[in-house]
Amino acid sequence: MPELPEVETVVRDLRPMLVGRRLSAVRRSPHPLRVRWSPEWESRLLSRSVRGIRRRGKWILIDLEPDHLLVVHLGMTGQLTVVPAGDPLADHVHLQFDLDNGEFQLRYRDIRRFGSAVLYADEQAWTTARDEDLGPEPFDLQPGPFRESLSRTERCLKAILLDQRVVAGVGNIYADESLFMARLDPRGRGCDRTPRQAERLRKAIVAVLGKAIDSRGSTIRDYVGGSGLKGGYQHELAVYGRTGQPCPRCGQPVECIRLAGRSTHWCPRCQRS
């Protein structure tokens, strides 16, 4: 599933290709996404210009004039790209937005259809409709509040990092990588962390995500950026997806266990409780 670095890469790629462009037509496939596209949205979208595009957690927010907001979630296999309209239409393209005179298109492709694209009247309407509140962005995490988030729960560290109310945008890949960099056992309880350990983890989250963004994210299966290019951070992963391979730090085989319903990769020597 695309996580923060992948979504941020899509946003950065699309920004120069979308901002200032006008949405002139919409086409949709007969196959529904996780949230079914409403035909009523089409009349509200047409002829609106894109004021900006940004990321919040794992969500892509496309600001339309005057206040409308097109919110895209890539789900597990979603791809959002701008391409020449004459490019062959790939399988599983479910939404096509003509830009300006139709020379280019914004296309949403999703093999498993777990993603979504929803139009809201404004950002407040999206905030009200969300299933859960989003926590701070990782790069905005403050030491005190983050330490407090850990200290007041008995959940394991892996579960805490996956909780979007604690920190927005971190998913399975970067939770494992951050815990490895911080040398913390993913099974350890949040309330047992010392202030020094909490700060080590906070800094590791920021460092790992920053490096991943610089590498355009990780292409494990289907992910591509907004320009269609793949990510490169998968070649730098220390533990995620490396079960049985030697730990890059100590040589101990990387192990995989199940935590918070997700596969969790860790080094039992470097990340001892």
| Whole-number pLDDT of residue 273 | 78
pLDDT digit string, tens, across residues 22-65: 999 999 999 999 999 999 999 999 999 999 999 999 999 999 99
Domain 138-266 in the same topology as domain 4-129: no
pTM of the model: 0.95
CA distances 5 to 1, 111, 202, 225, Å, are 11, 21, 16, 10
What are 270's two structure tokens? 């470097």
The reply to whether CATH 3.20.190.10 applies to domain 4-129 is: yes
Do the Cβ atoms of 175 and 166 come closer than 8 Å?
Answer: no
Q: What mean pLDDT comes out for the span 92-117?
A: 97
**Which listed CATH number (3.30.1360.70, 1.10.8.50, 1.10.3720.10, 3.40.120.10) goes with 138-266?**
1.10.8.50
What are the residue ranges spanned by the domains of the chain? 4-129, 138-266
H or E stretch including 62? strand 59-64
Residue-level pLDDT at 148: 97
* Catalytic sites, residue numbers: 2-3, 58, 262
- CA triple 162-34-128, angle to 5 deg: 65
pLDDT in tens, 192-231: 999 999 999 999 999 999 999 999 999 988 898 988 999 9
Which are the contacts of 56, defined by CB distance < 8 A and separation ≥ 6? 134, 137, 168
Give the containing element (helix H, strand E) for 70.
Answer: strand 69-73
